[in-house]
Structure 1
């Protein structure tokens, strides 16, 4: 399908609209706060390692089943089954934030994300999110903080809908929500396997990958997608204003 036929552009989040800064001090503080919130007497690094082992088992199972738990269920059943369930439920969003702080570091908006999103919206495209994530609120909060929440018609998170990429069902759900046929949609991601597999299986009209040359995957990514870009702003060369 020609790019001129694309009506809706969906984005991944991690390494696409945002990047991470693995600041050791920030990560250490996140792990300390996580242990404190869980009322653990263990050393924060020991406590984090225990949770990491639990999470790794969960994540591998979720990759096979292509299903994710909602935030509260993840913390009650997988991460902190030995902590009072009502307390965990009341603080689930805080646990998620601190877990992500202690694992990935700071989440930073890519330098050209805001301007690119606003310009694509101004040019008449519907915009949406399809992402695998354990958080249910952080993405929406981030959109509001950046002043771009009005630009997005549809936000589909695996933690809210249980479906997980690359299951084509999560892409089909997003298309139904925004009212655009799959062939009229493009997807922007960073993973040459998961993002491409799901997008292709769902019948999207275009698959675009954003490259980080430092990861050494450029040739694989170029072979997998319809277009390979280095910066989000490169999308503005691909998608002119809709008539």
Structure 2
């Protein structure tokens, strides 16, 4: 019996759109913020954008291997801005704002169709609703849920930035289950990747793994093609979820 439905955020609740203009604009805001704190970097926004992307990919690779999330100041010091040799102590006062900007300003987040209606329907049917998100910011997800008008429906909001562990590690799913008061075996999880979401469900013994199609993230899952790893259900619209949960519970 499914008693809780939990969601990923980026790629699931909303689609994430990238553009060179957004990345350069973000880098300029980053440089301006650092400058306001007395840190002037010898680089332009246009020059910083590709370097930051490469450094972020390096951190993503490390975190996916270790399944750990470092504190924000350490991420910016040792990975994202590593060429500039800025200490954690120096970056600490602005680390959270930088981390929030990374997901709020660097990209455009466009809510998925039927997102609010689907979550409202599930909540009103008595199911517990929650979030499990790999995210370097501690404030991005709570602020987003408020903006989307769904914060009041959440029984738990678990982020790697505060949990210190990332999907697909079972521990982050188990933490969410404990906060919701529902075992993983009575939980459904909706995400957009095999490598983090579906694998995480399998690792934690989540009862129902639902993957929403997201072609822009397919490159993250190439290592899992042909391995047999697959969601219980593949969907293309969040509005499909209530019917899937009903069918599962009838079984």
Q: Same fold (TM over 0.5)?
A: yes
CA deviation string 1:43-67 (max 9, x = no partner): 1122233333333322211111110
Going from structure 1 to structure 2, the CA distance change for 1:64 and 1:223 (only over 3 Å counts) comes to closer
Alignment correspondent of 1:57: 58
Task: Report the aligned-residue RMSD.
Answer: 2.6
Q: Distance in 1 between matches of 2:144 and 2:12?
A: 14
Q: TM-score, normalised by structure 2?
A: 0.83
8 A Cα contact 1:182 1:203, kept in partner: yes
Choose from 96, 100, 105 the match for 2:99. 96
- Report SS of the residue matched to 2:194: coil
Alignment correspondent of 2:30: 34
Choose from 6, 14, 18 the match for 1:10. 6
Q: TM-score, normalised by structure 1?
A: 0.86
CA deviation string 1:55-97 (max 9, x = no partner): 3322211111110112233224433463364552222222123
Q: Distance in 1 between matches of 2:208 and 2:146?
A: 28
Consecutive unaligned residues in structure 1, runs of 5 or more: none
Q: Trace 1:1-243 onto structure 2 (pairs within 5 A).
A: 5-38=1-34, 39-80=40-81, 82-83=85-86, 85-100=88-103, 103=106, 105-212=107-214, 224-240=230-246
Superposition deviation, residue 215 in structure 1: 7.1
8 A Cα contact 1:31 1:102, kept in partner: no
Q: Distance in 2 between matches of 1:179 and 1:206?
A: 17
